[in-house]
Amino acid sequence: MKLSIILLILIAVFSILSIYGKYKSKKLLIIFKPLAIISIVLLYVLSAPFSRGMAEVFVFVGLCFAIMGDIMLLMPEEKFVDGLSFFALTHIFYSGAFIFMGGFPDLYILAVFFAFGLAVYFKLHKKLGKLKLPVFVYTLLISLMAASAFHLIGATYAAYSLMIFAGAALFMISDLILAVNKFAMPFASAEILILSTYFLGQTLIAFAF
């Protein structure tokens, strides 16, 4: 427990330094963003004994792909699709984990989350250029991930299922803000919102297990 508290403090510190680095120093961002997600992975390893089942393994694999996605997004712009691809794999494995735990989400749940994600996509799609198809597929995957997390509520221990859904929802919100900021309407506080919701979302998912 003491180690988990230390890791939570480190995640908070590394997240704050990453946000500061995004505005003030690329070197700080390059150092502390990977350290933040690696600390989240360590928190997860401490809290989720893999002997419990495939769901825990799937979340671990998803977190590892998130590390690769973060690294790709720190590179030049041409690596954006590579980063998107790694995060798409994160959502596939998270969805698999949540479905293992609670079953496949009901169609009406899927409809609500797909409608929300696609509403944002179609608002942006004219400005996506060659990224229309990758972003469309990514939107479907992150919507499935969030819907699968929502379906857990009531299917497993309530407090943990709520924490998992909160984490998934924050992850989705982070990506939607990123898309709006990148392709439609850049705004000054975007990076604070993108990174804070991303780190908090990932931490909630890791801690819930």
Could you read off the pLDDT of 81-122 as tens digits, one per residue?
999 999 999 999 999 999 998 889 999 999 999 999 999 999
- 41 in a structural domain: no
Asked if the structure places residue 139 within a domain, the reply is: yes
**Rounded distance, CA 176 to CA 136, Å?**
12
What's the structural domain count of the chain?
A: 1
pTM of the entire structure?
0.91
Q: Is residue 56 part of a domain?
A: yes
- The rounded distance, in Å, linking the Cα atoms of 73 and 75 is 5
Residue 106 gets which letter from DSSP? P
**pLDDT tens-digit series, residues 144-184:** 999 999 999 876 666 688 999 999 999 999 999 999 999 88
Is 6 within a domain?
A: no
Tell which wins on pLDDT, 75 or 168.
Answer: 168
The span from the CA of 11 to the CA of 196, in Å, is 11
Q: Residue 75's domain spans which residues? A: 51-208
- Contact in structure between 151 and 109 (CB atoms under 8 Å): yes
Report the C-alpha gap between 133 and 43 in whole angstroms: 34
In a domain, 192, yes or no: yes
Question: Is residue 45 in some structural domain?
Answer: no
